[in-house]
Amino acid sequence: MTETGTVPTLEQVKLDPANPGAAVRSLAIDPESAALRVVTRLAGGEGQGVLVLEPTMDENRKLSWSCSGENIPHEALPEACR
């Protein structure tokens, strides 16, 4: 989710709308932090690319998400993660 509270489109996250599963190898959710790790088929210099989405909740119980990438080329990351 972006700072505007909208879920990005498949095109914005560089996935083919006709076959969005083609870019994803696996998903894992950390049971304690609720962080989501998306292991992709994109390979960087150090191996498989991983997109990490991490939630935080403020004092008003508003949920925000931050994202980062591991071994994913900068241009392949969703714009909000760069």
Kindly report, residue by residue over 4-27, the tens digit of the pLDDT.
Answer: 556 666 666 666 666 656 677 888
How many Cβ atoms sit within 10 Å of the Cβ of residue 4? 7
Residue pair 27/44 in contact (Cβ under 8 Å)? The answer is no
Q: Tell me the pLDDT tens digit for each residue of 26-75.
A: 889 899 998 999 888 766 555 678 889 999 989 999 988 889 888 887 88
Beginning with the edge strand found earlier in the chain, give each strand of the sheet holding 63-70 in spatial order.
24-29, 36-44, 47-57, 63-70
On whether the pTM is more than 0.75, the answer is: no
Which of 52, 48, 61 has the alpha carbon at shortest distance from 33?
52
